[in-house]
């Protein structure tokens, strides 16, 4: 492992769940939004339902049932359905668009910014997310995430775990796949990157779906397993 990780020049990061805490962010902003707009619903469940629509919506794009569209557009499709379901019918377009862009305003996990700042001293650090470029750029500004480069599935018109997403990331970084390490909380993402030749680091985020819904990570033969980004920096020998 130590030998392999010496080759690594860039770390690419899954973002939703791995870098940022979408659950708490959406629940908190949803509650405020509800107070302002007189919407009294369980925002916990709303956040979970919104996120639950994400995989199936991407799969429709991946399998050709929907034409290519980015995550802002897919989040909006799911949101419109949810607003119908919750019988929330009187929001303006401006308010609905603002709510949809809550995904641009997600809060980093407590270790994320300090860990990334350390990792950045030794490696190129880039997003490699299904989130679109604008979302990731705005989120980085919102949360102070010090990326060297914003890479997104949007650049390929494919979604992870399609191999094209990982392949283009390595190509755009001018690196061979084994010089890139994918960092993610989700074994499926790591498996797909590994199939393309990436090295991998698993950083479990047991609270991704909120307290009381602790995620058990199914076993994955990662090159590195770290409990957070600072431990990842330690394991990679970064000061």
Residues in the site for a second copy, rule: CB under 8 A?
72, 124, 126, 132-135, 137-138, 140-141, 148-150, 154-155, 172-175
Shortest CB 133 distance to a second copy, Å: 4
Question: CA-to-CA distance for 25 and 58, rounded, in angstroms?
Answer: 22
Shortest CB 170 distance to a second copy, Å: 10
Closer CB to a second copy, 78 or 150, in the complex: 150
Question: CA-to-CA distance for 173 and 170, rounded, in angstroms?
Answer: 5
Closer CB to a second copy, 124 or 201, in the complex: 124
Closer CB to a second copy, 58 or 175, in the complex: 175
Report which of 197, 196, 202 is spatially closest to residue 223, judged by C-alpha positions. Answer: 202
Number of H helices, E strands in the chain: 11, 6
Closer CB to a second copy, 175 or 190, in the complex: 175
**DSSP structural state of residue 83:** H
Shortest CB 230 distance to a second copy, Å: 21
Closer CB to a second copy, 172 or 195, in the complex: 172
Closer CB to a second copy, 41 or 134, in the complex: 134
Question: CA-to-CA distance for 211 and 231, rounded, in angstroms?
Answer: 22
Shortest CB 67 distance to a second copy, Å: 15
Closer CB to a second copy, 113 or 155, in the complex: 155
Shortest CB 174 distance to a second copy, Å: 3
CA 69 to chain centre: 17
Question: CA-to-CA distance for 39 and 70, rounded, in angstroms?
Answer: 28
Complete DSSP assignment for 127-176: EEESS-HHHHHHHHHHHT---SEEEEGGGTT--TTSHHHHHHHHHHTT--
Question: CA-to-CA distance for 68 and 85, rounded, in angstroms?
Answer: 25
Shortest CB 8 distance to a second copy, Å: 15
Question: CA-to-CA distance for 188 and 95, rounded, in angstroms?
Answer: 35
Shortest CB 86 distance to a second copy, Å: 26
Question: CA-to-CA distance for 20 and 23, rounded, in angstroms?
Answer: 9
């Amino acid at each position: 492992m130590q030998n392999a990780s010496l080759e690594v020049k860039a770390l690419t990061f899954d973002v939703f769940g791995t870098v940022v805490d979408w659950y708490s962010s959406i629940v908190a902003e949803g509650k405020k939004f509800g107070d302002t707009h007189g919407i009294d619903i369980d925002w916990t469940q709303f956040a979970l339902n919104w996120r639950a629509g994400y995989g199936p919506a991407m799969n429709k794009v991946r399998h050709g049932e929907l034409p290519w569209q980015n995550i802002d557009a897919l989040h909006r499709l799911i949101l419109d359905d949810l607003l119908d379901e919750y019988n929330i019918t009187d929001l303006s377009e401006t308010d609905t668009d603002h709510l949809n862009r809550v995904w641009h305003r997600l809060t980093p996990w407590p270790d994320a910014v300090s860990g990334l700042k350390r990792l950045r001293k030794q490696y190129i650090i880039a997003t490699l997310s299904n989130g679109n470029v604008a979302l990731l750029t705005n989120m980085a500004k919102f949360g102070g995430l010090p990326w060297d480069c914003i890479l997104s599935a949007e650049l390929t018109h494919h979604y992870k775990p399609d191999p094209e997403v990982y392949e283009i990331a390595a190509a755009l970084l001018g690196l061979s796949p084994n010089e890139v390490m994918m960092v993610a909380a989700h074994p499926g993402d790591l498996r797909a990157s590994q199939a393309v030749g990436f090295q991998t680091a698993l950083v479990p985020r047991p609270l991704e779906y909120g307290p009381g819904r602790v995620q058990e990570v199914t076993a994955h033969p990662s090159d590195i397993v770290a409990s957070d980004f600072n431990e990842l920096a330690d394991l990679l020998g970064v000061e």
